[in-house]
Amino acid sequence: MNGGDRPSFPPLFRGLEVEGAIDPFAKACAEAALGCDAGTIVHNVSADRLAAAIVFAPEVALEDAMAMLPACGVGFQNALGALAPPEVAVHLTWEGGILVNGASCGGLRAAASTGDPEAVPDWLVVGLAVPLIPDDPDAPGADPDRTSLYEEGCVEVEPGGLLEAWSRHTLVWINRWTEEGAGPLHAEWRGLAHGMGEEIALDRPDGPMQGTFVGIDERFGMLLRRGGKTRLLPLTDLLGG
């Protein structure tokens, strides 16, 4: 994608561009609630940020449909991995965070028409937001735990091209999940997961939680061990953005 060209998306996807301060995630949720087509990609590429959101119309229960969150994460890792210099390392956190060379660089979030894990949602939206430049361009690297794509050597990665690649790679994983089940996506995600096997801290609606991230179940729920007991945190806990 060059200049003012519109991004080109794979079949079954269609773009909806928004500008200015409009948040693609909020816009996608609103459009989904109004009954827009599944496969709508709302996007906003500005000078400092790439933001987009995909609308899904699942045909399975929410607890299974939430696999779209890791699918979109793996799709982004694959896309950036193909476009960025080879020394750029991209990993994913269970909560939807994106790490580039070990520092936080945006992330993904999800919302759905229902919070009932056993219900089939009318719609599910997965949003992506990635900073292109530092929050304070005059003080790059001021926060060593946070970064941006351009700080990590991705200046030559064209944001529109990255958006297109994200849609293509995500579609590959959606199709594999549909045709082959969760196994391949599960294996790919585990290879990109940050913090697995380590002591981690989570911000939970009911307060902070710490424990050892020992793995994920078949629905990508986190297995967190604490005090000799292992607790399952379902992926649906992340709904709400």
pLDDT in tens, 174-221: 999 999 999 999 999 999 999 999 999 998 777 888 999 999 999 999
Among candidate residues 225, 220, 218, 228, the one with its CA nearest the CA of residue 202: 225
Q: How confident is the model at residue 2 (pLDDT cuts 50, 70, 90)?
A: very low
Q: What is the pLDDT of residue 3?
A: 42
Q: Which two tokens stand for residue 112?
A: 């759905």
User: Following DSSP, what letter does each residue of 181-193 receive, concatenated?
Assistant: -SHHHHHHHHHHB
The domains of the chain are located at 14-192, 199-238
Half-sphere exposure of 231 (CA within 13 A, CB side): 8
Closest C-alpha to 94, from 3, 168, 203, 207: 203
Average pLDDT over residues 90-95: 97
For 14-192, which CATH class? alpha beta
> What is the β-pairing status of strands 199-204 and 90-92?
unpaired
Note whether 58 and 66 are within 8 A (CB). no
Percent of the chain surpassing pLDDT 70: 95
State pLDDT tens for residues 15-61.
999 999 999 999 999 999 999 999 999 999 998 999 999 999 999 99
Rounded Cα distance between 11 and 25, Å, is 21
Instruction: Annotate the chain with DSSP letters as a single string.
Output: --TTPPP---TT-EEEE--TT--HHHHHHHHHHTTPPTTEEEEEE-SSEEEEEEEE--SS-HHHHTTHHHHHHHHHHHHHHHHS-TT--EEE-TTSEEEETTEEEEEEEEEES---TTS--S-EEEEEEEESS-SSTTSTTSSTTB--TGGGT-TTS-HHHHHHHHHHHHHHHHHHHHHH-SHHHHHHHHHHBSSTTSEEEEEETTEEEEEEEEEE-TT--EEEEETTEEEEE-GGGGBT-
CB atoms within 10 A of CB 185: 21
Common-topology check for domains 14-192 and 199-238: no
From CA 156, how far away is CA 80, in angstroms rounded?
A: 11
pLDDT level of residue 140 (50, 70, 90 thresholds): low
Determine the topology of domain 199-238 in CATH. SH3 type barrels. (2.30.30)
Q: Taking a C-beta distance cutoff of 8 angstroms, is the pair 220, 70 a contact?
A: yes
In this structure, what is the dihedral angle of CA atoms 13, 19, 23, 26, given to the nearest 10 degrees? Answer: -60
Q: What is the pLDDT of residue 206?
A: 76
Question: 142 or 14: whose pLDDT is higher?
Answer: 14
